[in-house]
Amino acid sequence: MKKRLIIFLISIMILTSLNSVLTVQTLKISRNILYVGGGGPGNYTTIQSAIDVANQGDMIFVYNGIYIENVVIYKNNIDLIGEDKNSTIIDGGGNGDVVYISSNQVTFCGFTIQNSGSICYNGGIHINSDYNNVSGNIVSNNAEIGLWINNCEYNFVSDNIIDTNGLDGLWIDSANNNIVTNNFITSNIDNGMIIKSSSHNTISENTISFNDNNGMSIFYPSNNNNIIKNIIRSNNDDGLYINASNNNIYHNSFIHNLENAKDEGGGNSWSDEYPSGGNYWSEYTGNDDYHGINQDLPGHDRFGDSPYEIPFKQGRDYYPLIDQDSWYNEAPIDLSLTGQTYGNAGQEYYYTTSAKDPDGDPIYYKFDWGDDSYSEWFGPYISGTDASESHTWSTGIYDIRVKAKDTRGFETNWSDPFRITMPRNRNTPQIFMNLFEKFIDKFSFIRYFFNI
């Protein structure tokens, strides 16, 4: 009876699993693709008419053309895809928002968005919902804001060109936890980007340039925003203006703005912890002769030895970058270890190591002598040059190792073990030791047989 019950339960589990698989397949098959424009029978002539009949999960593909309309995306989980961002154009006709996204989980990509209305805060694209992906568009020649993220969260905005808009390029207003990355925001009539009353947003790897006012402005009470790896250059006023607090700004390049940065809020962090570093400042003239948390140890680390001062509220970049990509760092490579494998107990022997640092940083070394003792870190040595250290062992067989780190603290793993044998402590002329080494190297079975 018990055996039959077990078989029955297993059968039910298998049938349930098969039903789940079939259900998933049915859902995938039921997704529709609706077409707008083009010459196909049944294609829609406007984008809005396709949205109106779409169901959750549908894709709307829009062929090249100029569509003069205001598009409202109000259904969750639909994808709106343009054939080519340069030639699939949505023109708002000078009225309102050109594209307004009020539903969640929308993907919108592959369009040129232009000619919004001129009433205050009309936008080329207006996002007013959550978990949307707006990528790969051109947002240009709108009368007010190019792209507006308003009263929402968890949106992803990437790889857009946002230029020549009549007010600001991009606004984040009362919106949290959004990611804005890898966009080109240029030549807008006022600011490139404004962040207002918004927190926990990540602004990374954007190019913000040639805007008539500030490149980026962050207004109170915005906090805990991460401004990372952006290029902010040649804006006609401040590169970055802040009158908010507790924001993190590092690994950015500030290049030839009228004033590269102003901090009127105070309490913002202008550098990451050592050895990650701060920002690149085009007018910084400090030297790089030292390294370390306090920049007081001989040897360069591609950070300036003196902080960069940000005007007004005593903002300070403690680790200004000497080059634009100085924040990037790799640990040393090609670590080697050479020396005798056979010797006398009680006699001092030197072992030589070297490594190369991909960033050209000087290198420190540390030995594990295999007898529960270690050397201190010693150096720094120029990348690629040899470094030697000595040690004395008692009788025995030992596996020694070495590791390397650069002046910014990036370490290698320990090297592979290098086995040495110290069999006796009486003096043997070195010439015989050398001959013996050559002999056992030639007849390797001897080393294996005697475990030496």
- Report yes or no: 360 and 384 within 8 Å, Cβ to Cβ: no
Instruction: Supply the range of the domain harboring residue 403.
Output: 333-450
Asked whether residue 291 falls in the same domain as residue 415, the answer is no
Contacts of residue 18, Cβ cutoff 8 Å, sequence gap at least 6: none
Is residue 18's pLDDT more than 60?
no
Asked whether residue 91 falls in the same domain as residue 158, the answer is yes
CATH number of the CATH domain containing 363: 2.60.40.10
Q: What average pLDDT does the chain have?
A: 89
Name residue, tokens 């870190």: 377
Q: Identify whether 26 is part of a domain.
A: no
Name residue, tokens 């259900």: 23
Q: Identify whether 280 is part of a domain.
A: yes
Distance, CA of 449 to CA of 178 (rounded, Å): 65
437 vs 8: which has the higher pLDDT: 437
Asked whether residue 178 falls in the same domain as residue 232, the answer is yes
Asked whether residue 306 falls in the same domain as residue 403, the answer is no
Q: Identify whether 7 is part of a domain.
A: no
Contacts of residue 212, Cβ cutoff 8 Å, sequence gap at least 6: 188, 189, 190, 236
pLDDT in tens, 327-386: 777 899 999 999 999 999 999 999 999 999 998 889 999 999 999 999 999 999 999 999
Comparing CA positions, the residue from 258, 250, 248 lying closest to residue 223 is 248
Q: Show the tokens assigned to 244.
A: 């908010």
Asked whether residue 286 falls in the same domain as residue 341, the answer is no
At 5, is the pLDDT very low, low, confident or very high (cuts 50, 70, 90)?
very low
Sign of CA dihedral 63, 69, 70, 74: negative
Give the domain-ending residue among 285, 317, 349: 317
40-45 mean pLDDT: 91
Q: Say if residue 311 is preceded by a cis peptide, omega within 30 of 0.
A: no
Comparing CA positions, the residue from 84, 83, 108, 82 lying closest to residue 97 is 108
CA angle at residue 338 from 332 to 341, to 5 degrees?
145
CATH number of the CATH domain containing 134: 2.160.20.10
Q: Total domain count for the chain?
A: 2
pLDDT for 443 equals 61
At 444, is the pLDDT very low, low, confident or very high (cuts 50, 70, 90)?
low
pLDDT for 407 equals 86
At 3, is the pLDDT very low, low, confident or very high (cuts 50, 70, 90)?
very low
Is residue 10's pLDDT more than 70?
no
- Report yes or no: 286 and 280 within 8 Å, Cβ to Cβ: no
Asked whether residue 142 falls in the same domain as residue 253, the answer is yes
Is residue 103's pLDDT more than 90?
yes
pLDDT for 313 equals 79
Is residue 417's pLDDT more than 90?
yes
Asked whether residue 310 falls in the same domain as residue 402, the answer is no
Q: Show the tokens assigned to 344.
A: 């006398």
Task: State the virtual CA torsion across 38, 44, 45, 47 in degrees, nearest 10.
Answer: -100
Q: What is the largest CA-CA distance in the chain?
A: 98
Residue 43 CA: distances (Å) to CA of 29, 36, 60, 85, 157: 20, 5, 10, 20, 29
pLDDT in tens, 422-437: 986 555 455 555 665 6
Asked whether residue 274 falls in the same domain as residue 351, the answer is no
pLDDT for 432 equals 54
Asked whether residue 269 falls in the same domain as residue 383, the answer is no
pLDDT in tens, 185-244: 999 999 999 999 999 999 999 999 999 999 999 999 999 999 999 999 999 999 999 999
Asked whether residue 96 falls in the same domain as residue 137, the answer is yes
Is residue 17's pLDDT more than 60?
no
262-280 mean pLDDT: 94
Q: Identify whether 305 is part of a domain.
A: yes
Q: Identify whether 16 is part of a domain.
A: no
Pick from 43-57, 133-147, 438-452: least confident: 438-452
